[in-house]
A and B are shown apart, each in its own frame.
Chain A
């Protein structure tokens, strides 16, 4: 009977392709929208993701995210180093500055001061130049997405001289980093150098980044640091979550874009449901005749399940391929840099497609399963 079911499905090419297209399009709509949504709000955690080494972020109790940090006195570093289980701890500075380019433009940039000795705080990968260039005086490393913004028509920013709060800064490399939510231009420099670029107050230590000794879990270490120093300590995952939460709570993105995502989801589900229930309805007489001849409800349900399974699997695969192609094609665009498809999203759309096929199949079939088969011979 499965053979007949598949023939019924593929027999009318136009309807079959229409059904496939509907499911593929809906899958694309759902996965693509959700992917963009998740990646966009995950930009709130890019500051954490860019520092792969830091297991625990230590900060002033009022600090909230990598971008919203209240500076601590430099003594905090030693206090953290004094906590048992801390393998290493380094200073980390984040500040904003205005920069004047040689063309005279003014641009707001983020300055990140990384540990002088270990360069912890600097992204691991470089697009151009080496991380070692920071040891030269006045060196800064710019982030790749910031480059496209600050030097859009230039093959390379390396060698450019900037004026940072009246101090000279020479771009000597380009880091491969995940852009921030606002795609602010980021300049990485040594901590000691950063202190000169960021004028001002006594307290200029935004974070202390720490690593745990062998056998000490990050969460446990964070608790110890908090208990012993009175500072706020967050594990890498927690702090990434804080960044995402901040975007969710403080921008219109989740609400506005969320509505779009929900609408996309509803439209997708509606398309799948409608096309499939139309397909079943078109075949209702044949199912009725099969039941009259002697095909049990159980077998009819299995036939429809086979049809749903086939069209669902192929349509879903096409839709997912479409999403991957979309990310791949637009991945070179700085806006989409580093976009990935979290595994939960394809799973969600798979569940949505499967569920809606099952539900519409059930409702469309209900009449055949219940009523007197004679009805189809009238």
Chain B
């Protein structure tokens, strides 16, 4: 990366500087990310693509404040999130970040609407009010009719949409998605992408999406390619070789 990139860009929604991450692998340590310097601009839909094991999930986990970098700094909307105390970071996530991971981790004993309403309930909203608001979000995802069902009664794609509703219901400024369309057919996938664009792409907001789904590449404002823990491409379109 060029030297001037090492300066923090204050207009960026997220900036990472020298982010590395090691994991223990038996006796050894493997380094998954090698000094990532990246600015995610607000108002854009940013895609992160790369081979399996290249470190995509690791990188976005660090960006959304749920995985500590081994080295480096991460600023989200100007806040150095890993300088916060544990509790302050948890509160920062609740106020600013929504995410959808490959594991949805829905709560099995509460229905779809309540699951989608969790961030609102965590903010102290009354359960019924929160459910009603979450049901609107489910409606936008075309599964309002499933609102009263338990996660176990839903299909994989429906569960994923509940997880998406949960990520968006509190209108977070930063939305991070790991393969949000993987379990969906083309039409539902488009719908999800439209919704993400609607909720998450605005002047003071940002959205990062990890995806392999070439059906939606055309929707990206920016595409980043991660290879073996390094950013190797940054542009409006996919590089030729992919």
* Chain A residues engaging chain B, CB cutoff 8 angstroms: 1, 3-4, 7-8, 10-12, 285-286, 288-299, 372-374, 376-378
Contact = CB atoms under 8 A, between A and B. Distances in A.
Contacts of B108: 11-12, 286
Given A293-B118, A297-B90, A10 B109 contact: yes
Given A293-B118, A372-B68, 11 more contacts: A1-B122, A4-B118, A7-B107, A12-B108, A289-B105, A292-B99, A293-B119, A294-B91, A296-B91, A373-B67, A376-B103
Q: Determine chain A's interface SS by DSSP, over half rule.
A: helix
Nearest to A370: B86
Interface residues of B, number: 31
Contacts of B99: 292
B110 A293 contact: no
B40 interface: no
B217 interface: no
Interface of B: 57, 61, 66-68, 86-87, 90-91, 93-95, 97, 99, 101-103, 105, 107-110, 114, 118-119, 121-123, 127, 166, 178
A65 to B, nearest CB: 59
B61 A377 contact: yes
Contact of B67 (A7, A291, A372): A372
B126 to A, nearest CB: 9
Contacts of A286: 105, 107-108
Contacts of A296: 87, 90-91
A371 to B, nearest CB: 10
A294 B86 contact: no
Contact of A290 (B87, B122, B127, B178): B122
Given A10-B109, A286-B107, A378-B103, A292 B66 contact: yes
A349 to B, nearest CB: 29
Contacts of A293: 93-94, 118-119, 122, 166
A377 B97 CA distance: 16
A295 B90 contact: yes
Contact of B90 (A4, A294, A377): A294
A305 B151 CA distance: 25
B109 A298 contact: no
